[in-house]
Structure 1
């Protein structure tokens, strides 16, 4: 009698490890790195030529911590950072953590509409901002909204006398006060708020603890083999977990050096920084690596010091990965999957994984984390090889959404599983493929866009009677934003130029629709819901010249 076939293995994996999690706060962990590597470089800013050893960086962090205390900022207060990549961003990250202040990341692309919401919702009392970025005059935008943000007491601008005045105040606060505050902190205290969202409403403030982000940065760095010998080039934005957790904390928790190539991504500046600073690791979303590889003088850069790096944000095409490994010398490049709410990384490829695993999967579970793939309706774990919703649990799951317990309960179930909203398949070997999204989130060049937020803003246009926003394929960015609009008066149609002008200065540039489709009505389900999937299918090709 033939024995029955073995039962299929469930789509569940747990990252076991004999190495324990870190029990430090961010500040205590930095102090250990300073003590262990005082003379090694911790931070290099290529544009300004400034550089800090670990001893100098630790002293600068404590000086800024004293300066914040002198301004009346105290444990549990929220300090916002609205700036491009620069050394001051990093100093604010570690100084706030040192004294138990919660840093709130504000996207540099935000305009008045979005800035006001974040300032009000998080209750930021002090905002540190750049003076300007691209077409944004930050001071003018702050002045526009500050009267509607009662908690905001002060704004300090980097590169302005207000920054010098802030740091000068450090002299009035003894170092003992910083040390005493630091000693009272718990690794489970909140330390960071990052705004993200589902497909409805405004962004939600994912609240992350020291334990969340310090351990995630540490394990991402450990998985690519970081030591104090590594120099990590970070062209990715600090306001994302990619930059501040996987980058900054991934480096400092191993005594490595952070290298800032430019305030925002520039392919030539990135490769120049790798060459000049002898970087061993380089981060980016696939579109960044494509831009670097496509530079006319790419072959002139000496990238032989590179050995590893991290790609995340979207899948990497096979041919691009081949060139990154062969021509950029990144034989140990790693793919990561995560979300802000999980600090961010849950899955990661390993240094010795083959090309197929690096391009077709997002890796396998990291140590001390659990993942499973479930039927999104019943919540039961599906067999390996079957598609379902990816869920994750462990030290990395956020504390919750800032002051939104109901939305927190929608995302994290009673078993503390984070519901990612992504459709995934777990292979027999435990590696995971992402095959789609349950939610309607649009990912444009690594930026997450939430249609409902854009729709709610566009409803304010006088010509728009109804609007649905969907993502459609784009050769360069992966997806682009399409606004499907029913106008109030067919005799007075809306143009794409009018729509974009309405968004200018109010929405971040990547959220502004690049395509417009005028419709008489939307396809609906029997229950009266708009069939966004049909809109995506129907208009997922370039529009006709008349826009209809």
Structure 2
């Protein structure tokens, strides 16, 4: 029994060593050891791969990418919902040291243009379209002149599917051009270090532009491994992953947690559908299920929920936003997820820094985000002085260790703002720690809004809305929402002599910013509540909206 803490600082266990291989080296060894076991099931595509089959296809794609003339360190984007091609890209790029750039499928023209140019993508793999999103059309609209570094665009097709798309090549043709026995793969792999950048994920920026968090093999491979350890994953486990792969939740907490334990990755669909999740868990006899609270709520409340046998479930992760306590109890009792864990982190820390384990008592699981992960340190400091605060006192949560990102791509200044001289990542989250080291997130220093697991910085939306010709000033805040946790609200001061409408503002947003960034509530006001020094009081905007709309804060874990 360890002595109770008096200060809010804790270190993770170190009895299990860190993995010091590249993702490619680790995957090679796992495929050799677990070749006959099922590695990947894509229900919506009707595809199944053993570890040996997946390894062969990954090498075929790696060969094809080298055949394009791409070299170690070059960036290649993936703009897609969940599918087998995403997984092939994740592991093939890692095999030959290409940097995979995750593009949010909700991005629209201005956002994808910024992201691809910011990191200098030479190639892009994309869905042609998905529901109302016409990815091919958006890229054609942008044209090569606005994407000067982009040399190759591949669209994800099914063999024999449809017409060709002008200016794009088929992904199936790219795969066909590769050779799994290509000797160049191993030559390049031998030159890689596990500290090389391998992945860029964009986080919404307070400056109005997303920042490219750059992660290494060592960052995400180890995080995936220790996440799987918390869940007690084994090769017998089958993890249902309805969360998106472009986000760390799908790519690290899902794919890498499975692959580091020889477990099976199961995708119920390309996008989230609660009925397909329930059907998949039953049909594939899944033992694990991931989701943000809104996903679990949608599954539990589905009218056909009682029809499905979910008795194979035991573990999984709920993360992305705070979980209502009653929902957690229902997940444990009605979905058989007695060993579900809670994870907390941020993209910049690969992402998880705190997690509950399968043995964490339920009351700790619903009231905290668990304890510090192995080989990491967390501390809670006074936001002004930087001093570590006593247990039970709130302050800013900071984390240090192997998981801290390489940096923001092409932005040394922002990197220095986030990571201090001693290597601590400052999260901007307010937290407390108890005497056993359990961490509870109590708020945010920054005014970030979390809508259904998506992190949104109001400043980015404000910067965009300022571009509307009839907007003089704008303030964006989050307000409580029973379904998504929070929704966006914009208060707008119109330019003199103009009378913009809510529909005008929404039409301006459409196709330019992701749907979840479009404010649900829009109010036109003569001014903002301010302090005597002229500082805008966002909390007063939030309180006024809560009162006028009759909104109440959800009680959350």
Q: With structure 2 as the length reference, what TM-score do the two structures score?
A: 0.94
For the pair 1:127 / 2:124, whether they are aligned, the reply is yes
SS in structure 1 of the partner of residue 93 of structure 2: helix
**How far has the Cα of 1:166 moved from its partner?**
1.1
CA RMSD of superposed structures (Å): 1.5
For the pair 1:521 / 2:527, whether they are aligned, the reply is yes
Pick one of 502, 509, 516 that aligns with 1:510. 516
SS in structure 2 of the partner of residue 51 of structure 1: strand
Q: Please name the residue that 1:163 is paired with.
A: 171
Whole-angstrom CA distance in 2 between matches of 1:314 and 1:270: 20
Q: Please name the residue that 1:318 is paired with.
A: 325
Greater CA deviation, 196-205 or 474-483?
196-205
SS in structure 2 of the partner of residue 201 of structure 1: coil
Whole-angstrom CA distance in 2 between matches of 1:327 and 1:167: 43
**How far has the Cα of 1:107 moved from its partner?**
0.2
For the pair 1:54 / 2:60, whether they are aligned, the reply is no
Pick one of 128, 135, 138 that aligns with 2:135. 138
Q: Please name the residue that 1:71 is paired with.
A: 68
> Are the counterparts in 1 of residues 5 and 435 from structure 2 also a CA contact under 8 Å?
no
**How far has the Cα of 1:321 moved from its partner?**
1.1
**How far has the Cα of 1:316 moved from its partner?**
1.4
> Are the counterparts in 2 of residues 80 and 124 from structure 1 also a CA contact under 8 Å?
yes
Pick one of 359, 368, 371 that aligns with 2:366. 359
**How far has the Cα of 1:350 moved from its partner?**
1.2
Give the direction of change, closer, same or farther, for the CA distance of 1:483–1:217 in structure 2 (3 Å limit): same
**How far has the Cα of 1:327 moved from its partner?**
1.2
Q: Please name the residue that 1:3 is paired with.
A: none
For the pair 1:236 / 2:233, whether they are aligned, the reply is no
**How far has the Cα of 1:126 moved from its partner?**
0.3
> Are the counterparts in 2 of residues 336 and 363 from structure 1 also a CA contact under 8 Å?
yes
Whole-angstrom CA distance in 1 between matches of 2:36 and 2:447: 49
Give the direction of change, closer, same or farther, for the CA distance of 1:488–1:260 in structure 2 (3 Å limit): same
**How far has the Cα of 1:7 moved from its partner?**
11
Greater CA deviation, 462-471 or 414-423?
462-471
Q: How does 1:45-444 map to 2 (within 5 A)?
A: 45-146=42-143, 147-159=145-157, 162-171=170-179, 175-444=182-451
**How far has the Cα of 1:541 moved from its partner?**
4.0
> Are the counterparts in 1 of residues 205 and 460 from structure 2 also a CA contact under 8 Å?
no
**How far has the Cα of 1:524 moved from its partner?**
2.1
> Are the counterparts in 2 of residues 200 and 451 from structure 1 also a CA contact under 8 Å?
no
Q: Please name the residue that 2:164 is paired with.
A: none
**How far has the Cα of 1:174 moved from its partner?**
5.4
Structure 2 unaligned residues grouped into runs of 5+: 159-168, 551-557
Give the direction of change, closer, same or farther, for the CA distance of 1:501–1:541 in structure 2 (3 Å limit): farther
Whole-angstrom CA distance in 1 between matches of 2:150 and 2:28: 31
SS in structure 1 of the partner of residue 178 of structure 2: helix
For the pair 1:474 / 2:481, whether they are aligned, the reply is yes
Whole-angstrom CA distance in 2 between matches of 1:126 and 1:97: 15
> Are the counterparts in 2 of residues 205 and 402 from structure 1 also a CA contact under 8 Å?
yes
Q: Please name the residue that 1:35 is paired with.
A: 32
**How far has the Cα of 1:417 moved from its partner?**
0.1
Give the direction of change, closer, same or farther, for the CA distance of 1:150–1:213 in structure 2 (3 Å limit): same
Structure 1 unaligned residues grouped into runs of 5+: 1-5
SS in structure 2 of the partner of residue 47 of structure 1: helix
Give the direction of change, closer, same or farther, for the CA distance of 1:306–1:380 in structure 2 (3 Å limit): same
SS in structure 2 of the partner of residue 200 of structure 1: coil
Give the number of equivalent residue pairs: 537
SS in structure 2 of the partner of residue 430 of structure 1: coil
Whole-angstrom CA distance in 1 between matches of 2:38 and 2:395: 45
Instruction: Please give the per-residue CA displacement for 1:386-426, whole angstroms capped at 9, x wherever unaligned.
Output: 00000000000000000100000000000000000000000
Whole-angstrom CA distance in 2 between matches of 1:377 and 1:334: 33
> Are the counterparts in 2 of residues 424 and 434 from structure 1 also a CA contact under 8 Å?
yes
Greater CA deviation, 200-209 or 491-500?
491-500
**How far has the Cα of 1:359 moved from its partner?**
1.2
Instruction: Please give the per-residue CA displacement for 1:56-83, whole angstroms capped at 9, x wherever unaligned.
Output: 0000000000011111111000000000
Whole-angstrom CA distance in 1 between matches of 2:5 and 2:364: 22
SS in structure 2 of the partner of residue 443 of structure 1: strand
Whole-angstrom CA distance in 1 between matches of 2:80 and 2:95: 20
SS in structure 2 of the partner of residue 539 of structure 1: helix
Instruction: Please give the per-residue CA displacement for 1:238-284, whole angstroms capped at 9, x wherever unaligned.
Output: 00000000100000010001001000110000111111111100000
Greater CA deviation, 191-200 or 7-16?
7-16
Q: Please name the residue that 1:494 is paired with.
A: 500
Greater CA deviation, 7-16 or 510-519?
7-16
Whole-angstrom CA distance in 1 between matches of 2:27 and 2:4: 48
Whole-angstrom CA distance in 2 between matches of 1:451 and 1:60: 42
Greater CA deviation, 238-247 or 15-24?
15-24
SS in structure 1 of the partner of residue 44 of structure 2: coil
Whole-angstrom CA distance in 2 between matches of 1:45 and 1:14: 38
> Are the counterparts in 2 of residues 207 and 398 from structure 1 also a CA contact under 8 Å?
yes
Whole-angstrom CA distance in 2 between matches of 1:436 and 1:174: 52
Whole-angstrom CA distance in 1 between matches of 2:312 and 2:68: 43
**How far has the Cα of 1:94 moved from its partner?**
0.4
Whole-angstrom CA distance in 1 between matches of 2:333 and 2:537: 44
Whole-angstrom CA distance in 1 between matches of 2:117 and 2:548: 39
